[in-house]
Each structure stands twice: as C-alpha cells, then as structure tokens.
A and B are shown apart, each in its own frame.
Chain A
Amino acid sequence: MAKKDYCKMISRSKPGPGDGGNTGSWRVMRPIINLDKCIPVKTGKIACFNCWLYCPDCVVTKTIPPTIDLSFCKGCGICAEECPADAIEMVDEASQTEKEK
C-alpha cells in the first residue's frame, strides 16, 4: 500500500514575538520617560507620540502615558533623540537593574 501522508515537514514559520529571544537583554542603556515633561501627559491630549512613531521595535504604546515594553526594548535611544520635549533619558542599564534588585 503506497504512502499517503507525504510532506510532513516543511519550513513554514508561524507569527510570534521574540524570535530573537529576550531582546531587552541587548540593552546597554534604558529609556526612562519623565512624565513631567511628556507632552501628552502634561496636556492630557492625544498629541506628539514621536516615540511611538519612530520606535523600530513596536515597544512603545500610543497611550497616556506612553509605556515601553522592556522585555523587548533594545535601547537604541531613537525615542530619546526624537522626543521634542527632551522627556526621555537614556540611563545606564546595569545601574538601573542594580537599583531594582
């Protein structure tokens, strides 16, 4: 009797996060949002959101306040550089982690 169930293995990937693992571990610097300076927080309005727009990794939420998913944030610093209110500071990751312990 000839085989019937052919081609049981092919390379077809399914969508899901974290292909690169916990990419938050790549960080050397961590972004911290200063809520006193953040424009949407200060005004209470949907405004600015440069950080959300320019984030390469989709880890910034378009919320008031914006939040950053630190399990995947690679610490590139683009959000800090592009914030028009200088509300985001890149701080040393190692000392932050130390602080949290």
Chain B
Amino acid sequence: MHIIESGNVAAATGVMLSRAQVIAAYPITPQTPLTEKLSEFVESGQLGAQYIPVESEHSAMAVCIAASTAGTRAFTATSANGLLYMNEQLHWAVGARLPIVMCVANRGIGAPWTVWNDHQDSMAQRDVGWIQLYANDHQQIIDTVIKAFRLAQTVSIPVMVCYDGYLLSHTYMPFDRPEQSEVDRFLPAFAPKHFLDPQNPGNFNTVTLPDVRQGVDGVMEPGYIEIRHNLHQDLRAALESYEEIDRDFVKHFGRGGTPFVEEYRCDDARFVAVAIGSLSYQLRDVIDIMREDGIAIGVMGVQMYRPFPDQAIARALSGKECVVVLEKALSYGNQGPLYGDIKSALYRLADRPVLHNYILGLGGREIKTQQLLDALSESCSEPKAIEDTPRWIGLKLQE
C-alpha cells in the first residue's frame, strides 16, 4: 500500500509490522515523532507491545537488554546525546548477544548543543560491535527496519538502523507500506536458544574470567576473550547472512539488492564519490551535472557500515582513478572514519585509487549542490594529490 509519510513514521511502521513486543521510549529530537507514533500504534491496539516510557536512554537500553534476555523482541530509538548516554549499554547488548533493534535519527553531538543532522552520533559507536545499517530514503527506512529484525535474530547481534535527522526523519515522501501478512512470512517469530526461564535457570553475563574454566558438568567453558572472539567471527559472517536476507527480501517485496553499497553511474566511472545517507542521493544531481560535462564520475552510498563490507567496497572501487569520501563525521585529531576504513579496504589492491576526504555538514550546516560540484570538480581535476588531511566544505568564518 502506497502512503506519504515522514521518515520517523516509516520507521515506526516498520517496527509495528515487525511485531516488536517490548518498546522502550524516551524522547529526543529528532527521533521523538517515531516514539510518539509507536505509542499511538500501541494505545490504538494496532501493535500489541509493552510500551515503557522510561526515565532515561540508559534505562531505555536496559529495558531492551532485559526484555531481550527474557525472550522477547525489543526495540528503542534515539539520537545524538541519547545514544551516547546509553553507550555503556550498547557494549552490554553486544556482549550479551542480544537481537535488539534500534533506530537512530542521526544528529550532531554536543558540546555545544546542536539538534541538526550529521553522523557523529552513530559514527562514535562504530567500534562497539552493533551492526550499523544506513537508509537513504523513506522506503529504505521501513524496509531496513524489517530486515534488521531478521538479521538481528539470525546472528544474535543488535542492529542499529540510522537515517538522517530532519532531512529524512521529518520530511515526507511516498513509499510502499508492506503488507503485514508478507512481513510475517519474511520475519519468523523470535525463538531464542537461551532466555531467562524458571524451568531452566541460568545466570547471564556474570564475571567471566580471563582464562577458561570447568563448568558444573565437567566441560571446559570459554573465558572472556573466546566469547568476544566468537562475537567478532559472527559479525564477519553476518555480511553473508545479510546478503542472503536481502535477497530473500527482494523475493518477498521486489525491492533491495544493495545490502552493502548502492552505486549510481559507477560502472564506467573514473572517479567515485562516496557518502552515507541522504547525501549519497543529493550527490546524484552533482554526478548528472558533471557527466553532462563529460566527466566520468559516479556516486556510491554505503548502506552497511558495520560489519564493514571491505571486500565489496574494494571490488567496487578497484581500478578507479580517484575516490572522494564526503563525511558528516570526523575522528577528531585524525580523519574521517569512513575515509580511514575505505583506505584500509583498498590497501591490499595493487592499483589503489587516489583518496580524498571532505568533512561537511557538521551540526547541520547546509550542503549546497554548488559546493559539492566545486569540491568534486577540484578533486577530479587534481586527482593525483593524495591528501591525508581532510578538506572542509562550507566553512564561512576564519579562525
């Protein structure tokens, strides 16, 4: 069914269709309308979930962790400082191997306060172990939320679905709302192997020793490092599982096919711009303008950021002359996080493209098509100048 709604409502609808059972809700701009919509779904009876209006984001993730450990499908949403406030809990959810799904309406982080869009919030969590998926438009938001629940319970790792605050969360677009019956066929009920059960008692996630140790039935049980190693191995294996899930989604709903990267006019391109989120779609206008001028350029949007699809990216960018990574985040004191990851992925290639890094849009600074055009044009005309210091787009005042 086609509807016109906001990105936040697209996300909430995805959660409802996925039959979330426990929802922890705390308001924070620009995610709040998602949370409000979910309360409407629950109070009207459209979604039979427990809706818990918690007193902080740290508690929101605590509710999800506990509810998931007790065997139910749990969800919460947040942005920016809320995501950071629950940082301790994000690590906990991963280590506990819980299939929680969370939406992050991307927003910049304080200090100083900002409510506007950039990617610093989710980028700051890239090492935690959560799977990170980024949606580029409203259709991708609702579709990715549904895929996220399936991926999370398949690999027992939590998944965050990120989309641009305001640019996607608050704008309205037409998209297809999948049928509940089709979603039910795509997403089986949550049936965990281990959960809190008075009939089968166990003590979850207590102090775990550095070394292996014999258990009550005489079997050698792992130490902390083995458990974390298993997590990492599963994260890397999740790449292939997500490809499989995405293929299945295409079968059910006729959409998808770009689990890792979404490419536009990249096949015969000499130059490729890389970005995350709605920026990758805004760049398409610039690509079309430059193509009119005979410049063989394309744009690639990264859809799965963690686990990092290094092989897919290396395949996509191998043989290109210059790759320009434009980011709304920065690893302060170094360079753009995506830039660093792409550089590592390309390191093994015999003929590595030249890499350029641009930082833009922090704290919601408007990104004009002309600015993108100027930056890409410069990079394409001077590709050989490899720069490790990121350039900035859109600064107005000098220090």
Contact = CB atoms under 8 A, between A and B. Distances in A.
Task: Indicate whether A and B are direct neighbours in the complex (CB within 8 Å).
Answer: yes
A20 interface: no
Contact of B222 (A7, A9, A14): A9
B211 interface: no
A3 B237 contact: yes
Instruction: Assign chain A's interface to a size class.
Output: 10 to 19
Contacts of B157: 6
B157 to A, nearest CB: 8
5 contacts: A3-B240, A7-B156, A7-B234, A13-B202, A14-B217
A6 B154 contact: yes
Given A2-B244, A3-B237, A9 B227 contact: yes
A77 to B, nearest CB: 28
A8 interface: yes
Interface string A46-83: 00000000000000000000000000000000000000
B188 to A, nearest CB: 14
Interface of B: 95-97, 154-157, 193-194, 201-206, 208, 215-217, 222, 226-227, 230, 234, 237, 240-241, 243-244
A7 B244 contact: no
Contacts of A9: 222, 226-227, 230
A15 to B, nearest CB: 6
Nearest to B240: A2
A11 interface: yes
Interface of A: 2-3, 6-16
Contacts, number: 62
B234 A6 contact: yes
A3 B95 CA distance: 19
A48 B208 CA distance: 41
A3 B201 CA distance: 28
B16 to A, nearest CB: 26
B208 A11 contact: yes
A14 B197 CA distance: 12
Contact of B203 (A3, A8, A13): A13
A2 B237 CA distance: 7
Given A10-B97, A12-B204, 18 more contacts: A2-B244, A6-B156, A6-B157, A6-B237, A7-B155, A7-B193, A9-B222, A10-B227, A11-B96, A11-B206, A11-B227, A12-B194, A12-B203, A14-B215, A14-B216, A14-B217, A15-B201, A16-B215
A15 B193 contact: no
In the complex, the 5 A-B pairs of residues with the closest C-beta atoms, listed nearest first: A16-B216, A7-B156, A3-B237, A13-B203, A9-B230
A81 to B, nearest CB: 31
Nearest to B245: A2
B151 to A, nearest CB: 11
